[in-house]
Structure formats: C-alpha cells, structure tokens
Structure 1
C-alpha cells in the first residue's frame, strides 16, 4: 500500500490547526517551531486544516488561519489540505482495516463506558464489549481498531521515549464515530502519509496519542515520521492555554511582539532589541539561532499573562 522507507535527505513538516477557535499563543508556538525546523533543514512546510468536527467549529476560524499565518510571515508550501474533503480516502483505509479483521463495528455509548469504569491515559478506557460481538455494519455504529496487549515505544526528540501498552492504557480506539464523523487518529495518520510528511512538530498535549498513530502506521505499512513535542503553556491551575480555557486570540497589528513572545516561550532567548524591530529582522535572527536543544523535556510549563498581553514563565 505504501513504502515504509523515508529518505534521510528529505524533510517535510506541517502545521495542522483545528478550527474550533481562533489561533492563540500556543498555536503560534507550534507553528513557529514546526516552521523553523523545516526551514533550517531546507525542507517543506505544509498546512492542513483539521476540520473534522463541524459541531465544534468556530465560524470563520478556518479561513482566518490562512490570513493570520500570512501576517506573521509563516508561508506554507503548496495548497492547504482540508480534511473535510478527504472522507472518501478515509473510507478506503477503513475498508482495508475491516477486511483484514483489524477493525470492527461498535455500539457502545459513553454511558456504557462510564459503567465499565476503566481509566486510561485519555480518561475512560474501552473494555472491548463489542470486540467479539460480530455486529452488522448497519445502524448507528462506530468503528474501532483492535489493539494488542503489547508495549509500543516511540522516540521523541524533546520528550525522549514514550512507552505505552495500547490495550492497558487506551483500549481499542475509535476510527469513525457513531455520528459518522472521522476520528482524529485515523485522519491524521492517513493525511501525513499521503502528503509525505517526514517530521511532526506539535504540542505535548498530543504526546499520549502518538503510540496509537505509530501503531496505525505500522499495520498499514506507512512511513513512520519523527516526532518532536514542545511543552504546552498552562495557566496557574495547570490547564493548557487553549480555545477551551479562553486563551486570547492572536492580535492583528502586534505580530512582532507576539512572535518574539513565541520564541521566548520556546526557550530561544530572543534579544530584547528585536521586540521593537521588524518582522523580517526577527525571522532572520530566528532562522540563524533556532536550537531545539534548548527546549526542556516537559509536557507543560506554567505562564502568566499580564494586562499588556505579555506572557512570562511563572
């Protein structure tokens, strides 16, 4: 189906925001880190809009992403990929997994999962109720992937080795939801393979999902990208600053200041003089000075935000 070899001399990175809200400082940090990693290696930087969940989408957010990234000088290669246009491709891959007996239909509800009371890395862990039920592919069913009782190890360039027993820590996970929307795990793996992504740079909030993606890559015979997860910024309660925790959106007209802050929060120590310089000067410094070795092996770091929208480490 795919070749599993990845050329050492070829680098393809990507930024893949979800339009559940406007881009914020955490989004900018992930975009800047992935962009710089690609550019200093002479590689490509792709843009993908992960618009898989219409009920949760923020009106106008997806189109605003393109405008916001352009304002910051973050120029992507090729045309953006919209996941909402790739349903047929995901269907093809799901059909392969079903034919091979690696996936199966499931009618379990959230209430049933709560009754089972199993806890995993993402909260409720699936018990396997429908694994051997032989359900028909009709009605309101989800589709899950069978996972082995085996340890999966993924190396991360910042966080080190991530070790997970898929069955004990996650359980058979969803590929397509009962409401017929595609699950993130399947879509992201297929899209990365189809667009030739070789290196993935993103926030550490996605670290626990990486072994699931690696397993999918393995059973589908896909290339296995390298991973780099940066620490996410969190508030004083330890909550990731995100759309859900009301992180303020990036402000138009303050691109230099906000890019400087993103580099500061990525432990790059940009010179203070560049905070009031031009965007071009700041990017020139960043491209010459970027050093991923400065980023600590932490999943999150606490920050404060003052009245002038300045982020500082606590």
Structure 2
C-alpha cells in the first residue's frame, strides 16, 4: 500500500478570509501538489460565540473562487465535540487536568509573565485548591475551564521533538525540540465548549490521517503543546512546515480583528483570482 501525504487548511469561521488566509491556502494546495498528496479543508468552528454559518459559507465560496478543490465532506469541528470530550477524559484519568475558576481579570493580575502569544501566563492559582472546595464550587454550578497540569505532563513525557521542513518542501528535514514549558498550564476544555484549539486540532489531525501540517510562522510555537498532547494521547506526530506571513503596509500581519481587506472586498473591487495568485507569488 503506497503512502499518500495528507495536508489540511483549517480556517475558523469567525470572519471573512483575507490575503493572509489566501496565501496559507494556496501554499498548502501547492505543497500537496508537490508531494503528490491531498489537501483537506477543515472548518474549526468550536467557538459558539464567534463562529457563524455565514462565515463558513463564505470560506467555501472564497476558496472555490481561488480555484481550490477538496474532498467532501468538509470536516467541521462542531460535529465532533464528543470525540474531543473523550480525549479530555483520557487526560483527566491520567491526572493531568484540573478545573480553573479564575476570571480573565484574576489571571492577568496573578500572571507570572507571558506565553508565546503574549497572553498572561497562568500562575496555577487553582492547581492546589482543596478537593472539598473544588467539589463545592462545581456542585453549586460555578463555571470552570480545565487546564493541563504541565509540570506533571512533562514529568511523564520527558524531552519531546518533532520533524520540521522548510522554508521550502525541498529542504532537508530537521529535528526540533519542543518547549511546552513556555506555555504554562494551557486550557484544554473551555467554559463554553468541551474542548480548545490545542486539543481539537491534535485529535483532528490524527483522525484525518494528516501527515504534513502547514502553518504560518506565527503558529510555530503552538507545536510545543501539540507534540506534547500527541505523546500523551498516543497519537502520531505529523511533519511540520511553517510558511511566511503576509504583512500589511504597517509591517504587521494581516488579521480579521484589525479589519484587513477581505477576499470578498477585493473581489467586489474587481480583483480576479489570477490577480490574487500573482500578488501572493503563485
């Protein structure tokens, strides 16, 4: 049986796609072509407050407009919440999860620094709460998110590494060592959903047989946590490749939150798929 590489592009439907998304999608489909593999489309819609069906529809329309095609059906994370909950239960059975009742204000006030995303580094405030207090608070309905006990997890795994290629697929693979300690006790189950980005993406990559993960360089640090979770859950670790970011006139990466022009805006302004591909170097 021959090996067939599987890649994926996995946007969140919490806004419209911009040129940065277009670059990542085109890079992934080009990589799949060079590897003689398949590029999958995944909709990462675990955030019930921000993810909207109309944005998911727009993603499909924009990628189709760019000339990209993918196998059906499209994987939608909102349809797999029980699977993520089962993975979290496994980690809980290993003694690796604990409830956190802290507000964002409390987390920021107690922070011991920042993580690679420049977010407040959690001070493990709830890690040592007495079992009786935890039971009481859960019993009265206090909302909790569940965090990974990173100290215990690292003690169980020891040093971890992963394979990286790039900046082009023709480069020689390199072994990189993961540094999950810089993330602290990350959230694996949020208050509003039984999973998180870190947990669901690891479970999805394994379930879909993804062999190569292509991401922007801004996502490189998160690989630390993903490699750790793969080891803990007994899942395979893909090969990773990190592409450049598309920057705006201010030198910062494009983002939905900063109001970067969407592909719909560019299309409505008369830009063609060929224009977009030429601008992005494809």
Range of TM-score over shorter length: 0.7 to 0.9
Matched ranges for 1:161-310 at <5 A: 163=177, 165-167=179-181, 169-180=182-193, 182-250=195-263, 251-252=266-267, 254-262=272-280, 264=281
Maintained 8 Å contact 1:19/1:58: yes
- Equivalent in the alignment of 1:121: 116
Q: Can you list the C-alpha shifts for 1:136-187, whole angstroms capped at 9, x where unaligned?
A: 35531101112136655444322666555323x1111101112336310001
Maintained 8 Å contact 1:154/1:214: yes
- Structure 1 gaps, min length 5: 1-6, 265-269, 271-314
- Equivalent in the alignment of 2:6: 12
Maintained 8 Å contact 1:239/1:245: no
Moved over 6 A (4+): none
- Equivalent in the alignment of 1:80: 74
Instruction: Provide the rounded CA distance (Å) in 1 between the counterparts of 2:81 and 2:256.
Output: 26
Q: Deviation at 1:8?
A: 8.6
Q: Deviation at 1:236?
A: 4.3
- Equivalent in the alignment of 1:157: 165
Instruction: Provide the rounded CA distance (Å) in 2 between the counterparts of 1:104 and 1:117.
Output: 18
Match of 1:35 among 1, 26, 29: 29
SS at match of 2:108: helix
Q: Deviation at 1:214?
A: 0.8
Which is richer in strand?
1
Q: Deviation at 1:71?
A: 1.8
SS at match of 1:223: coil
TM-score norm. by structure 1 comes to 0.75
RMSD: 2.2
Which is richer in helix?
2
Query: Larger relative contact order (C-alpha < 8 A, sep ≥ 6)?
Result: 2
Determine if the alignment matches structure 1 residue 132 to structure 2 residue 133.
no
Instruction: Provide the rounded CA distance (Å) in 2 between the counterparts of 1:8 and 1:222.
Output: 21
